Structure 1
Amino acid sequence: METGRVASPMARTGRTTSGSVLDDAAPLAEVIRGDLVESVHLGHLVVLDPAGRPVVQVGNPTKPIWARSSLKPLQLVAMLRAGLELPDRLLALAAASHNGEQFHLEGVLQILASRGLGTGALQNTPDLPLYPPAALEWHLAPLGGGPGPASLAQNCSGKHAAMLVTCLAQGWDIETYLSPEHPLQRAIRATILELTGDAEVVMHTTVDGCGAPLFSTTLLGLARAFSTLGAAPTVDVISHEARVGRALSAHPDMVGGTGRDATLAMEAVPGLVAKDGAEGVYAAGLPDGSAIAFKVLDGSARARPAILAAALRAAGVAGLPGVYPGGLDGLGRVPVLGGGRSVGEVRAVFADAYEGRR
């Protein structure tokens, strides 16, 4: 096992509320401009082999983190266990941080309509579509009744629509579905603890950007959970975990959309289950049970594609059937621009050491 450790001045001075996430942080990626390293992204990362053993470890993946939207596939498992029933395409949307493209918005309306609900039942934070062309289209011809921010257009609307439908399937109140004490949120919490294998003591609770309860995990636990999701369709096609894994890998366009790295990664690697999260988080599971999880400590999304591609290679994707190497190469290529042309790159610093190791 390889472990990088870097002392943090901020951690030493104690000027944080938890102090822990900075401890042992190590470089994950460098930003190279010309022939100099301009910036460095620190963080934590783990790659698990099919047996669940860490084969690559950078920093300390046992620190509690907010996994943000990387938790959505786990939340979806809990909803399926509670009676949610949707076609796979809409299940993928229920675990999405979608672009707000027309097909995403229409899918959310389909989820709501399956139980006779309208967009007024959604309680997620109003916003505009993430994808600029979709935001322009929203302004010109909004599905939500006006050109401004709306819950339907916000990237978590698929998850919230599925939460509402799950509540109705169980006869639970839909007005309070965002309360941490609501039966749905208690079920989600228990499912996250089960799938991650994290100790309950490391679980903290807060509110995510969309307004839903957010539960902390460790990166090691998150990787274990995605290992289960990635391998489940190959061993048990009827389990809830298998349905989630199959839905995401079969419908990557619903999980993100045009140009999104989670979508591109799942298109390049058949059977991959991948989900990005805000503030530099990522998790992915492969059909053989290998898995990865990482967090970029500065919260930047800039380095995520390069780190993701390198971590997937370290997990052995090159040896899996049907992998499109060009797609993986394109995913990991993050140019640094000067005057509108490439003058450097964002490079995962552990890439060379683990290229082709499996």
Structure 2
Amino acid sequence: MDKPPVIREPAHVPLAHVLRGGVIEGVHYGSVVALAADGSVEFEAGDIEAAFYPRSALKPLQAVGMLRSGMELDSELLALSAASHSGEDRHLAGVRRILAAAGLGEADLRNSPDLPYDPVIRDEWLSEGRSASRLAQTCSGKHAAMLLTTQLLGWSVEDYLDPWHPLQQKLAETVEDLTGQAIARVTVDGCGAPLFSVSLRGLTQALSQIASAAADSPEGRVAAAMQEHPEMVAGKRRDVSRLMGSIPGLLAKDGFEAVQTVALPDGRAIGVKIADGSDRARMPVTAAALAVLGISPSLLAEFAYSPVLVGSAAVGGLRVTGELAARAAAVATPT
């Protein structure tokens, strides 16, 4: 295992320009890495080795750790255990099913209460006079799976989020195994669970291993579940679910503060971190990085452009820039 990544100010680079009326109005800095099928770095920009927090992009790794510990779920619920769900009815019903399998209920969850992540569902929720809940919070699938794993192994339930709890120690061990590096720092994620700091390269390597693993391995089971149920991983209106549905075999997981990972069954993978946490730059940069790895531009068109709108009229848009744009264009239009 490698040493932990260095904690430093990341040397991010410009990845995307925001144009309005032909003038650059804003610049999104960040870092991106694209791995070839053999794990070598095909392309990099910015700082792919500095310690950072993957946020919810860690969930597939945590799901692997729970399977390694003995958790058993069907494919749909396994996808939900690795999800940042939108709060749709099927998501909430799935969380209840996981809790029921553990003989537990919503009151046993220790994630932070919140409203549904999907803005349409959130508005409906509020119009009905409903308040924030642990069940509706976007990470409740992961927390329910953590409770199930804890119950199966006879560990204490009340403190399952303690970093020293046997479950969290097992998940940390899995993160280090899949990333190939020691964890730099442990803190608390937005949902209340322990959050492990690794590098962008290490995180991308981990998703590559999950996507390319043998079908009967814990990694392969997580990959298959997410690929079979992309709308359980996010939601019907979410770009991550649409991206997985657009490219056969592709595995994708996002995280708050504009983190995105994507991997293909042959091991090719990308990792993206937008420095300012702006979600509008996340998917266009991701699409450009996928183009560098040879994914057809026709499959990426929906994700490659983010317009600047005044009402319904486009007055500009977000355009990927720098070496990433040049590499993506060169692959798309070979000489």
TM over 0.5: yes
TM-score by length of 2: 0.93
- Which amino acid is 1:207 matched to? V
Aligned to 1:330: 302
Aligned to 1:283: 261
- Which amino acid is 1:336 matched to? V
Q: Distance in 1 between matches of 2:265 and 2:203?
A: 16
1:133-144 correspondence runs (5 A): 133-139=120-126
- Which amino acid is 2:328 matched to? Y
2:45 maps to 1:71: no
Aligned to 2:192: 211
- Which amino acid is 2:9 matched to? V
- Which amino acid is 1:316 matched to? G
Q: Is the 8 A contact 2:7 2:184 kept in 1?
A: no
Aligned to 1:238: 216
1:257-272 correspondence runs (5 A): 257-272=235-250
Displacement of 1:340: 2.9
2:292 to 314, 323, 337: 314
Structure 1 stretches of 4+ with a deviation exceeding 6 A read: none
- CA RMSD after TM alignment: 1.6
- Which amino acid is 1:160 matched to? H
Q: Distance in 1 between matches of 2:152 and 2:290?
A: 38
Deviation sequence 1:140-188 (CA, Å, 0-9, x none) = 66xxxx7111000000000000000000111111101000000000001
TM-score by length of 1: 0.87
Q: Distance in 1 between matches of 2:127 and 2:98?
A: 24
- Shift of the 326–357 alpha-carbon distance from structure 1 to 2, 3 Å rule, reads closer
Q: Is the 8 A contact 2:204 2:261 kept in 1?
A: yes
Q: Distance in 2 between matches of 1:138 and 1:242?
A: 36
2:2 maps to 1:21: no
Displacement of 1:311: 1.1
Q: Distance in 2 between matches of 1:165 and 1:336?
A: 44
Q: Distance in 1 between matches of 2:140 and 2:20?
A: 38
Q: Distance in 2 between matches of 1:81 and 1:345?
A: 44
- Shift of the 339–132 alpha-carbon distance from structure 1 to 2, 3 Å rule, reads closer
Aligned to 1:6: none
Q: Is the 8 A contact 2:7 2:51 kept in 1?
A: no
Aligned to 1:149: 132
Q: Is the 8 A contact 1:102 1:134 kept in 2?
A: no
2:166 maps to 1:183: yes
Aligned to 1:223: 204
Q: Distance in 2 between matches of 1:85 and 1:152?
A: 21
- Which amino acid is 2:27 matched to? V
2:89 maps to 1:102: yes
Q: Distance in 2 between matches of 1:230 and 1:313?
A: 18
- Which amino acid is 1:58 matched to? A
- Shift of the 212–126 alpha-carbon distance from structure 1 to 2, 3 Å rule, reads same
For CA contacts below 8 A with separation 6 or more, give which structure has more relative contact order.
2
Give the percent of matched residue pairs that are identical in Structure 1 and Structure 2.
Answer: 47
- SS for the counterpart of 2:95 is helix
Q: Is the 8 A contact 2:110 2:134 kept in 1?
A: yes
Q: Is the 8 A contact 1:262 1:275 kept in 2?
A: yes
Question: How many residues matched?
Answer: 325
Q: Is the 8 A contact 2:7 2:50 kept in 1?
A: no
- SS for the counterpart of 2:222 is helix
Structure 1 runs not aligned, ≥5 long = 1-17, 319-324
Deviation sequence 1:299-352 (CA, Å, 0-9, x none) = 11110110111111112222xxxxxx6552112221111243111111221234
Q: Distance in 2 between matches of 1:163 and 1:289?
A: 28
Q: Is the 8 A contact 1:274 1:285 kept in 2?
A: yes
Displacement of 1:135: 1.7
Aligned to 1:293: 271
